[in-house]
């Protein structure tokens, strides 16, 4: 379901129809105070990075979709027990395979919104400064660091590195100021494109290297291998993304 940051922004928009409506029923396999949830009205739906936030008057629910999580509205999956199922105004919402936690309702104070590339509060200088603090790290690890680029997942990482023309195992110290700025800027702008493409159902066809056999731009064979300390797979084109600039 590709639940990286932009997908949660889309989900939050989809949930706007449920705002200020009462939860009529709350069930599911997750250990949550279902009786308490039932009495509440949904006051705010938003996201911070990969955290999907349902905010009620006296508490909030933080939903993380991890690798395989998904949600459905009025179309339950067959033979699947949802972690959480909510009935709101006759609609049924199902959350599957996700980690749900009760948190305080003052979510503004719980997150640094300037870190989320999908947030209005996101700032470029802050990201640049944070990256520069770890000169020995690989850019592939930096991009996946939720402390710096919350919202960015492995799909976005690979595509951002492509557009920034950077090899995944470029060290931060090897970046000059303009390529560092270019990388950070690309995160923000790719987030916006991801959002638009996903909404239009055009996400996969815009991937240039992620899970591709050949580079979508130059046709060169794509390299797929585990990179960085995080040991996540990177997909990259050695022709478009040479190791040194």
What residues line the site for DNA (CB under 7 A)?
1-4, 7, 49-50, 64, 66-68, 70, 77, 80, 96-97, 99, 144, 146, 153-155, 210-211, 224, 226, 229, 232-233
Of the pair 80, 239, the CB lying nearest DNA is at 80
Neighbours of 199 (CB within 10 A): 14
Estimate to the nearest angstrom the gap between the alpha carbon of 36 and the chain centroid. 29
The Cα–Cα gap between 239 and 245 comes to: 11
Q: Smallest gap, in angstroms, from Cβ of residue 8 to DNA?
A: 11
Between 124-132 and 177-199, two packed helices, what is the crossing angle to 10 degrees?
Answer: 130
Of the pair 1, 128, the CB lying nearest DNA is at 1
Of the pair 17, 29, the CB lying nearest DNA is at 29
Of the pair 50, 163, the CB lying nearest DNA is at 50
The Cα–Cα gap between 61 and 243 comes to: 43
CA angle 231, 98, 94 (to 5 degrees): 145
Q: Smallest gap, in angstroms, from Cβ of residue 50 to DNA?
A: 4
Q: Smallest gap, in angstroms, from Cβ of residue 136 to DNA?
A: 11
Q: Smallest gap, in angstroms, from Cβ of residue 70 to DNA?
A: 7
């Amino acid at each position: 379901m590709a639940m990286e940051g932009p997908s949660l922004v889309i989900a939050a928009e989809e949930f706007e129809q449920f705002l200020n409506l009462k939860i009529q029923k709350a069930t599911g396999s997750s250990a949550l105070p279902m009786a308490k949830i039932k009495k509440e009205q949904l006051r705010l739906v938003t996201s911070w990075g990969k955290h999907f936030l349902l905010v009620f008057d006296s508490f909030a629910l933080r939903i993380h979709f991890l690798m395989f999580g998904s949600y459905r509205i009025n179309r339950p999956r067959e033979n699947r027990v949802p972690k959480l199922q909510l009935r709101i105004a006759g609609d049924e919402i199902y959350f599957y395979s996700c980690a749900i936690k009760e948190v305080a309702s003052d979510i503004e104070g719980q997150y640094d919104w300037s870190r989320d590339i999908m947030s209005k509060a996101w700032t470029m200088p802050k990201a640049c400064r944070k990256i520069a603090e770890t000169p020995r790290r690989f850019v592939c690890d930096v991009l996946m660091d939720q402390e710096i680029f919350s919202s960015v997942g492995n799909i976005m990482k690979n595509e951002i590195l492509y557009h920034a023309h950077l090899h995944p195992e470029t060290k931060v110290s090897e970046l000059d100021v303009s390529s560092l700025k270019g990388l950070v800027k690309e995160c923000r702008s790719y987030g916006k494109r991801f959002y638009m493409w996903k909404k239009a159902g055009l996400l996969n066809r815009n991937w240039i290297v992620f899970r591709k056999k050949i580079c979508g731009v130059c046709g060169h064979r794509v390299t797929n291998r585990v990179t960085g300390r995080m040991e996540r797979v990177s997909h990259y084109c050695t022709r478009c993304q040479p190791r040194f600039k």
